[in-house]
Amino acid sequence: MTGRNMRHVIRSPEEIVLYFSLPIMFVLVFGYVFGSGMAVPGDGSYREFLLPGVFVMTMLYGLGATASQIAVDAGRGVVDRFRSLPMARSALLTGRAGADLLRALLELTVLVVCGLLVGWRWRNGMGDALAAVGLILLLRLAFTWLGILLGLLVPNPDTVSVIVFPFAFPLTALSNVFVAPELLPDWLGAIAAWNPLSATVAAARELFGNPGIGGESWAAQHAVLLAAGWPVLL
């Protein structure tokens, strides 16, 4: 089932280009156009502050692809066909999750290369960098299962896309992806600090050794713990 889903990705390269273009556009627009006017705690490079956020944001928007593919299979009766075959019922879901994790790894690899080209670096060694990548992929796995649930509840790809963007955009905006929570008003900063995206972004910045580490809240002081806990809870 994982191989079947990966073959669908290979046969639809335009979909991969579409999902890659959005985060790369964010890197270029925020990193170069607005980067000179953005404040970073500790006066670090805004591009190094931004890239871990873009990595995590891409994992969130991958939820739409997961839900759409599940909705397509459910709407066309493919799910019912698989259930009539002598196969594990869990294979349809675990195969989807496995394929999406492989796809997320491919997306993350491309974004890391893009980040290196625009000046982003990891500073704490390969071990911590791999730990950061692991936490990012763990969050993607959690979003994959939310996407599977959404695709089964709303078996219409057009409806899925309408639901995902209004959910994903505020979740991204009310996080530390683009701005550090301590630079926001107190009540808004508290919401951003406890956002599941913020936990993974803060943990990734800490492990990569990028600017933006710090804050006095419990969430900021225990970012790695939250980055592991939120995906498990989801």
Q: Tell me if 59 sits within 8 A of 133, measured CB to CB.
A: no
End-to-end CA, the chain: 24
**pLDDT for res 126:** 94
Q: How far apart are CA 103 and CA 131, in angstroms?
A: 19
**pLDDT for res 179:** 86
Q: Which two tokens stand for residue 97?
A: 């999750």
**pLDDT for res 202:** 93
**pLDDT for res 100:** 93
Torsional sign, CA 110, 116, 118, 122: positive
**pLDDT for res 1:** 92
Average pLDDT per block of 10 residues along the chain, 234 residues long: 88 77 80 74 80 92 89 86 89 92 90 88 92 96 94 85 87 89 86 93 94 81 94 95
Q: What is the largest CA-CA distance in the chain?
A: 60
